[in-house]
Amino acid sequence: MDLVLIEALKVDTVIGVYDWERTMTQTLVLDLEMATDIRPATARDAVDETLDYAAISERIADFGATQRFELVETFAERLAETLRHEYAIPWLRLTLRKPGAVPAAGAVGVRIERGTREETP
């Protein structure tokens, strides 16, 4: 499998366990690796034959704008489920960071992998 990457994507959302956090938007930063076979796209030089990172980035922004969670873990899990379902992604690795959540840290967050990453013939 090949990987399509989206790195350091900023997503604005309402997230947090404290009441004051739920009254404002915060910026999350995510890295996403998605398994796919890029050979059909390269054969035709056609974006409709691969994972369109521009469309996926827009979908992630929409997800952040419309969903509300307390935990970054829940945000990551639901986003992974949504992307795998809507884009038929067999495997993904999502790293989600919340900058500023812990003053002494640059960011805190989670990294999850979902699905299976199998080689294609």
Residue 9: both structure tokens together: 């994507």
Active site (annotated) includes residue 98: yes
| Catalytic site residue from 61, 98, 108, 117 | 98
d(CA 54, CA 61): 11
Alpha carbon separation from 90 to 26, 63, 80, 81 (Å, rounded): 30, 20, 11, 11
Catalytic residues: 98
